[in-house]
Amino acid sequence: MIPTTALAAASTAAAAEPSPVLALANTPVLWICALGVFLVVAVQSVIYMKAARKAAPSVGMTPQDLRTSFRTGAIAAVGPSLAVVLVAIALLALFGTPATLVRIGLIGSVSFETAAASIAAGTTGAELGGPTYTPQVFAIVFFAMSMGGAMWMLATLILTPLLQRGGHKLEKVNPALMTVVPAAALLGAFISLGLAEIPKSPVHLITLLTSAIVMGLCLLLARVSGLRWLREWGLGIAILVGLTAAYLAHSAGLGPVG
């Protein structure tokens, strides 16, 4: 089986600069695929804007209204986009640039994608980011994340026409079902994945707690002082402070043995 050879390759190459995982994760083919997704989103926006411009007069919208809407949307997105940028940069070392751009930046989101990656790595017996994180594991993880994202798109592609056709019956589903069930699923997933980090090493525990506390403080401060931007930036700030704590604790020799 491959794991042993890949593992050996990983440990020998660990001293050299780019880790084998990152070398693989940044190959040109993956860049091309990532830029393809960028291009698709851009093309879609152009088509939509043209369609909106054409329909505008019939609903009493001026070109100025369209421009205002576009500009307002653009300005409103600056803060959240930069917050996503910060989080994405933190994940470059784990997934490489192309995968991070597509999975974290566009289609998915940091919480779903890292959760999926952690679960997928677990099925191979490897630890995401640990010494067992080989190029082979990366390929499996990237595949699982992408398939997960594909399911989201597939659900959208199938359900949207159904809902559009007046299938509003679906909206009459017990509202408790629509709130309790997804909330329970998300809480179960993230809490389980978070707690699973604890036994890995004291540094993992310190990192988890630091990040959780910082996030809690950000959200609290956002509520008390009305600083809305803290809600958006909380995740990025918490990850950075968490990683700083990890660096200090790791340097103090609390990291995993081996």
Partner 1 sequence: MTATLTGPQTAAGMGEFERTTSRWGRLTMIAGLVFSLAGPLYLVFFADLGVTATQLFTAFAAVAGTFFVIWLVEPLTYFPILGSASMYQAFMIGNISNKLLPAALIAQSSIGAKPGTPRGSLAAVMAICGAATVHLVSLFVFVGLLGTWLISVIPPDVTEVVRIYVLPSVMGAVIIQAIVSLKQVRATIVAFVVAVLVLFVLVPLVPSLAMVATAIVVLTTLVIGWFVRKREATPGQDATPEVP
Site for partner 1 in 212-231 (CB under 8 A): 212-216, 219, 231
Q: Which of 164, 166, 224, 225 binds partner 1 (CB under 8 A)?
A: 164
Interacting positions 88-147 with partner 1 (CB under 8 A): 88-94, 97-102, 105-112, 114-116, 118-120, 122-124, 128-130, 133, 135-136, 138-147
Round to whole Å and give the CA distance between 231 and 79.
Answer: 11
252 binds partner 1 (CB under 8 A): no
Q: How far is the CB of 81 from partner 1 (least distance, A)?
A: 5
Binding track over 38-77 against partner 1, x by CB under 8 A: x-xxxxxx-xxx-xx-xxxxxxxxx--xx-xxxxxxxxxx
Q: How far is the CB of 206 from partner 1 (least distance, A)?
A: 9
CA distance between the termini of the chain = 23
Report whether 106 contacts 37 (CB < 8 A): yes
30 binds partner 1 (CB under 8 A): yes
Q: Which of 195, 227, 229, 252 binds partner 1 (CB under 8 A)?
A: 195
The per-residue DSSP string of the chain comes to -HHHHHHHHHHHHTSSSS-HHHHHHT-HHHHHHHHHHHHHHHHHHHHHHHHHHHHGGGGT--HHHHHHHHHHHHHHHHHHHHHHHHHHHHHHHHH-HHHIIIIIIIIS-HHHHHHHHHHHHHHTT--TTSTT--HHHHHHHHHHHHHHHHHHHHHHHHHHHHHHTT-GGGGGS-HHHHHHHHHHHHHHHHHHHHHTTGGG-HHHHHHHHHHHHHHHHHHHHHHHH--THHHHHHHHHHHHHHHHHHHHHHHTT-S---
Q: How far is the CB of 86 from partner 1 (least distance, A)?
A: 9
Q: Which of 152, 227, 229, 252 binds partner 1 (CB under 8 A)?
A: 152
Round to whole Å and give the CA distance between 105 and 120.
Answer: 20
Q: How far is the CB of 180 from partner 1 (least distance, A)?
A: 5
Q: Which of 13, 190, 202, 221 binds partner 1 (CB under 8 A)?
A: 190
82 binds partner 1 (CB under 8 A): yes
Site size for partner 1 (CB under 8 A): 170
Q: Which of 154, 227, 229, 252 binds partner 1 (CB under 8 A)?
A: 154
Shorter beta-carbon distance to partner 1: residue 8 or 183: 183
Q: How far is the CB of 228 from partner 1 (least distance, A)?
A: 9
Q: Which of 8, 11, 12, 186 binds partner 1 (CB under 8 A)?
A: 186
